[in-house]
Amino acid sequence: MSAARLRVDLAAQRLYLIEQGVITRGWAVSTAANGAGECHGSECTPRGRHRIVMRIGEGCPENTVFIGRRPSGEIYTPELAARHPGRDWILTRILWLGGLEPGRNRGGQVDTQRRFIYIHGAPDSVPMGQPGSHGCVRMRNADLLELFPLTFRGMRIDMG
């Protein structure tokens, strides 16, 4: 496999692709409004070493709406959003994360995968570069479409 990995910088609200130890690309993201933390139910973004456990949505159109990690059959529009106020939109692609550090972000009440923490697309109206999610790492759909083919199952992600 490739030596590529990802890094989510919570303070900078940026996601970086690192290849051969060098940052080659970066994107603005939005992590948890509640800040960093690992506990189930906290709606915080977990820290530490992670990996991609599943890549979801390959081949789906941009703005595909996902519910329970499955395409709902809907394509996000402002009109759809108006009909479903308060829905936490998960769009375009999903990179489902799993923790690699037992007791910190893996197992028990701190398990990133069981918390359903993703890198996923968000409506264009959602601000990037500032915290605002319920724990996931939100990205612009166009940015996620650029990132997705550069990722692989098992790819390392450091968050902090």
Instruction: Specify the pLDDT at position 94.
Output: 98
Backbone angles phi, psi at 139, to 5 degrees: -135, 160
CB 116 within 8 A of CB 96: yes
| Eight-class DSSP state of 106 | B
* Those residues with Cβ within 8 angstroms of residue 81's Cβ, 6 or more apart along the chain or in another chain: 87, 89, 123
Mean pLDDT of 50-74: 97
What would the pLDDT profile of 120-132 be if each residue is shown by its tens digit? Answer: 999 999 999 999 9
| 1 pLDDT higher than 60 | no
| pLDDT band with cut points at 50, 70 and 90 for residue 80 | very high
In sequence order, what are the residues at sequence separation of 6 or more whose Cβ sits closer than 8 angstroms to the Cβ of residue 79?
none
Which residues are CB-neighbours of 98 under 8 A, at least 6 positions away?
Answer: 50, 51, 52, 53, 106, 112, 113
The predicted model gives 140-154 an average pLDDT of 98
Residue 2 confidence class, pLDDT cut points 50, 70, 90: low
- What counts of helices (H) and strands (E) characterise the chain? 2, 10
Residue 97 above 60 pLDDT?
Answer: yes
pTM of the shown model: 0.96
Confidence of residue 3 (pLDDT cuts 50, 70, 90): confident
The Cα 123–Cα 142 span in angstroms is 11
Q: Cite the DSSP H helix spans in 20-152.
A: 78-83, 141-147
| Spatial contact of 135 and 117, defined as CB atoms under 8 Å apart | yes
Average pLDDT over residues 38-45: 97
For the chain, the average pLDDT equals 96
Mean pLDDT within 23-44? 97
The domains of the chain, with CATH numbers, are: 5-159 (2.40.440.10)
Amino acid code (one letter) for 95: L
86 pLDDT above the threshold of 90: no
Find out whether 53 and 97 touch, Cβ atoms under 8 Å.
Answer: yes
